[in-house]
């Protein structure tokens, strides 16, 4: 019999019951809550007169709606304010641990979870947010759910699920200097498409993945959903355990030793079989830039915008034409010639300390180009912000002409005041370039933090590999 994949093991480990109808009841160890997808779940509980099963298995923080400017006067937008207030009220009423807006531990859920050691290897974890796959970087089965399922987990600590198929994405070799985890995952999406992982759990493996820091692995798993996969995974190794150790919610004392022992098995067996395998060579990956309105519309920075006339598939051709129209770009022009208006460094994909170091290494001693109307850096959490300030990164950014903000989702989805105006092009380290994602009519180009910083100082995309970087900072960020 073939061995088991990491996903198989996690599934087996959390199986409460297999039902005759082909569905399974899966135990959910922990849930993360935020203000957008939880109010209706709490309301549902209340209406049905149900009690949460294990309220201590939930952790909450507001992130999508919070302002990233001065917060001393609260939230100006009344609708956003009510939503954040509703989260606070529900957490207070039910006794959920919450990092409120004025707590230094507040931040984007997917940054807060790992940072607090709330995310642990071997867990099943859900959140009413599709980027929950981020936590799979720790060898945890983590996936996004809708609000009905948030309520389901609150009430039962379980979910009814179907087992997914197994997909392996293997990246072997060494990434070039200036090529980051973000470029790897964009290249993967470019290869398999945004629906390529539908119905699958993707495990990322290979020497290039092993060489990545935990931050890098989180960036990759974060965007598994952009390849259609609800679950992204990386096997547990020493780096995983080292990262978790000593964090506030991590096991302590003899529990720690017991946990580490259990976590050592969290990898796919050598003879495990995958339903699909995709292989990429690390050396082939060049810094990536999305040019269109879907993450699969991506090219190396050295390339040109595609020509729809050369596309034989009619649906794809139409997609390219529509995207070029929306983005107001011409076929066959170089990626480096795309005019830029704004730069956004942030989001659950790229707002961890390592990402900020990477961007600062480019920004140091340089200035944001005069043609850029706004360049902002939004740390992923209050603690990331504190750490960055302790390292002096905030000064580097501010001196270069970037705005240094309070933590939150910000311009990743523009639910707060941070957004693009219609027609503006933005180099963004976030994860979605859909029409209107960063503001109605806004045009998003997804890139790595280093590429975003380089674009800010040049006013257009440049190949970050050709820039001279601050040695000290660049070295720090190379501790991959």
Structure tokens at 55: 């309220």
Pick 18 or 332: Cβ nearer other proteins: 18
Which H helix or E strand runs over 137?
A: none
Contact indicator for 59, 96 with CB cutoff of 8 Å: yes
Residue 108 touches which of ligand SF4, other proteins, none (CB < 5 to 8 A by kind)?
ligand SF4
Quote the tokens at residue 351.
Answer: 């707002």
Rounded least distance, CB 156 to ligand SF4, Å: 25
**Nearest Cα residue to 134 out of 181, 69, 98, 188:** 181
Rg (the chain; Cα; Å): 21
Helix (H) or strand (E) holding 219: helix 214-222
Under rule CB under 6 A, residue 412 binds ligand SF4: yes
Q: Min. distance of Cβ 191 from other proteins in angstroms?
A: 16
Among 125, 205, 324, 348, binds ligand SF4 (CB under 6 A): 348
Residues 245-304 binding other proteins (CB under 8 A) are 251-252, 255-256, 258-259, 262, 294
Q: Which residues contact 305 (CB under 8 A, 6 or more apart)?
A: 291, 299, 324, 329, 330, 331, 332, 333, 334, 335, 338
Give whichever of 178 and 197 is closer to ligand SF4, judged by the CB atom.
197
**Is 405 one of the binding residues for ligand SF4 (CB under 6 A)?**
no
2 binds, among other proteins, ligand SF4, none (CB under 5 to 8 A by kind): none
Please identify, using beta-carbon distances, which residue of 230 and 357 lies nearer to other proteins.
Answer: 230
Q: Which of 432, 443, 445, 460 binds other proteins (CB under 8 A)?
A: 432
Quickly list H helices, 339-448: 353-363, 382-390, 393-400
Which of 93, 195, 390, 398 is the binder for other proteins (CB under 8 A)? 195
Binding flags for other proteins, 95-134, as an x/- string (CB under 8 A): -------------------------x-xx----xxx----
Residues 43, 135 contacting (CB under 8 angstroms): no
- Contacted entry of other proteins, ligand SF4, none for residue 261, CB cut-off 5 to 8 Å set by kind: none
Contacted by 348, from other proteins, ligand SF4, none: CB < 5 to 8 Å by type: ligand SF4
The H-or-E segment that residue 316 falls in is helix 314-327
Strands 231-233 and 97-98, how do they pair? unpaired
Residue with tokens 């959490």: 381
Residues near ligand SF4 (CB under 6 A) are 63-64, 108, 110, 129, 131, 347-348, 409, 412-413, 430-431
């Amino acid at each position: 019999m073939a061995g088991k994949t990491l996903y198989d093991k996690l599934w087996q480990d959390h199986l409460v019951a297999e039902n005759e109808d082909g569905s399974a009841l899966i135990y959910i160890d922990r849930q993360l809550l935020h203000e957008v997808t939880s109010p209706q779940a709490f309301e549902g509980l209340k209406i049905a007169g149900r009690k949460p099963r294990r309220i201590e298995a939930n952790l909450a923080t507001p992130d999508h709606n919070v302002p990233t400017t001065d917060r001393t006067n609260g939230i100006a937008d009344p609708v956003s304010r009510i939503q954040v207030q509703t989260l606070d009220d529900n957490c207070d009423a039910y006794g959920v641990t919450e990092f409120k807006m004025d707590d230094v531990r507040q931040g984007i859920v997917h940054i807060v979870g790992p940072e607090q050691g709330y995310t642990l290897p071997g867990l099943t974890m859900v959140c009413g947010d599709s980027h929950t796959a981020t936590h799979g970087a720790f060898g945890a089965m983590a996936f996004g759910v809708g609000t009905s399922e948030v309520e389901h987990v609150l009430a039962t600590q379980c979910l009814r699920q179907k087992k997914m198929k197994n997909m392996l994405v293997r990246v072997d070799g060494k990434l070039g200097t200036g090529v980051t985890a973000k470029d790897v995952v964009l290249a993967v999406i470019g290869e398999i498409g945004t629906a390529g992982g539908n119905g699958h759990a993707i495990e990322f493996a290979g020497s290039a993945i092993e060489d990545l820091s935990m931050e890098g692995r989180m960036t990759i798993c974060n965007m598994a959903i952009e390849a259609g996969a609800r679950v992204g995974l990386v096997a547990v190794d020493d780096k995983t355990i080292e990262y978790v150790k000593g964090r506030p919610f991590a096991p302590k004392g003899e529990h720690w030793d017991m946990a580490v022992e259990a976590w050592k098995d969290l990898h796919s067996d050598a003879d495990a079989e995958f339903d699909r395998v995709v292989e990429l060579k690390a050396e082939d990956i060049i810094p990536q830039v999305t040019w269109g309105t879907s993450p699969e519309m991506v090219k190396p920075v050295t390339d040109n915008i595609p020509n729809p006339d050369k596309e034989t598939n009619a649906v794809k051709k139409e997609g390219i034409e529509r995207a070029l129209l929306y983005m107001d770009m011409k076929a066959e022009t170089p990626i480096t010639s795309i005019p830029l208006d704004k730069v956004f460094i942030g989001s659950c994909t790229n707002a961890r300390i390592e990402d900020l170091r990477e961007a600062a290494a480019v920004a140091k001693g340089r200035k944001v180009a005069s043609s850029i109307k706004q360049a902002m850096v939004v740390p992923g959490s209050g603690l990331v912000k504190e750490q960055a300030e302790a390292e002096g990164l905030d000064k580097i950014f501010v001196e270069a002409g970037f705005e240094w903000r309070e933590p939150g989702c910000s311009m990743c989805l523009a639910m707060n005041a941070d957004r693009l105006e219609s027609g503006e092009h933005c180099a963004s380290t976030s994860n979605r370039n859909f029409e209107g994602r960063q503001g109605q009519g806004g045009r998003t180009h997804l890139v790595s933090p280093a590429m975003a910083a380089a674009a800010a100082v040049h006013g257009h995309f440049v190949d970050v590999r050709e820039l001279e970087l601050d040695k000290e900072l660049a070295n720090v960020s190379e501790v991959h």
